[in-house]
Amino acid sequence: MTDDILTAEKVQAMLTRGPFHQWLGIEVLSVGEGEITLKATWREEWVVNPDRKYTHGGILATLVDLTADWALVSKTGRGVPTIDMRVDYHRAAMPGDLTATGKLVRWGSQFSVAEAHVYDKDKALVASGRGVYLTAPPKA
């Protein structure tokens, strides 16, 4: 666990070290104890069906996983590996930035549970999910 105060700016720097997170256009909007809110800047490459223009479910699942994972950052000070995850799709995500909120559900010494909700530009819920993450301290 970390005793450092993790600001949105610090988490942004940690999160966007990964090229995939950079490509997703992730912006950390807020970080709290066991909570995080992220924004993903919409990209044309997310489109799965060019006629209907909706976002691929893999992008939504990624945002669920990423947001739930990073909701644990206030306790771990780092991203953590995913052990298991479930995603529910509620409606098609049309072109536009997506906002995701995540929160800690259960903290454990080895494994922890967090959930996330992904909203479209109109604040409609498009996907949600819950994951189990390995939160045990890294081996020295």
Q: 37 lies in a domain?
A: yes
Helix H or strand E segment including 71: helix 57-71
What DSSP designation does 47 have?
B
Read off the pTM: 0.92
Tell me, what's the pLDDT at 47? 95
Q: 55 lies in a domain?
A: yes
Tens-level pLDDT at each residue, the chain (140 residues): 445 678 999 999 999 999 999 999 999 999 999 999 999 999 999 999 999 999 999 999 999 999 999 999 888 988 899 999 999 999 999 999 999 999 999 999 999 999 999 999 999 999 999 999 999 988 87
Q: 57 lies in a domain?
A: yes
Q: What range does the domain containing 112 cover?
A: 8-134
Q: 2 lies in a domain?
A: no
Q: How many domains is the chain built from? A: 1
Tokens for 103, please give them.
């929160």
- What does the alpha-carbon distance between residue 52 and residue 66 come to, in Å, rounded to a whole number? 26
CATH number at residue 109: 3.10.129.10
Q: 1 lies in a domain?
A: no
